[in-house]
Structure 1
Amino acid sequence: MRFVIAAATILLTSVPLLAAGLVPLPSPKPTIESSGPSFAVTGYLWASALNGRSSTLPPLPATDIDLSFGDILKNMNGAMMGAAEMRLGRWGFVTDAMFSQVTAGGGRAPLSLRQGPESHHK
């Protein structure tokens, strides 16, 4: 029992001294750089809406796009987003990648893939 009381007394009196800075702490050891590369990978989420005009190669017409985040979330099949970092000594390489797949919920206007004036006279 005396050992427990002595240990508690030492502990309770040394913590305030360390917190006040009255007892010098040991100097930090120098950091040693690892000889090999280090890696870090982080996944994240992003919420966004989509608004604008999209076009492809001619002869396909441009299309207006106006989707809220809720519309995108309802029609989303899957998504992955992430960042990766590799450090080698004082050099670092970072990449950021994003993939999403959304099913189209709207219809398209009928298209004619033939070019020229004869495609308009049906």
Structure 2
Amino acid sequence: APGECRDLAALAARERSAVEGAGSLGPEALLQLLERTDAFRRPERLERLMDLCECDLKARGLARTVPRERLRLAREAALGVDAAAIARDNPQSVPAAIHAARSARIAEVVQEG
């Protein structure tokens, strides 16, 4: 557990500004944030990071909140991409194709919301 706490603190130190400002991030920046925080494999880590950033905002006396729903919506949209189908259709550039599809899907949902 101490290692997890240390890792989360280091992650928060790196990503606090991006998490707190996620309400104004575009689709590509949102996707990059989700990738950097390993939110696709470890959604609980994203939740803990948002909690920590929320506490930090309050500790600094700021009235802002973390845009949790936008981050969750972006994560869910990106997870909706059918990576297996992309791998079948485009085996030469799977990672880039999945990244592009996820970014496009996030763009769709954040424009709707």
* TM-score higher than 0.5: no
Q: Which has the higher strand share?
A: 1
> TM-score, structure 2 length as denominator?
0.20
Q: Which has the higher helix share?
A: 2
Larger radius of gyration: 1
> TM-score, structure 1 length as denominator?
0.19
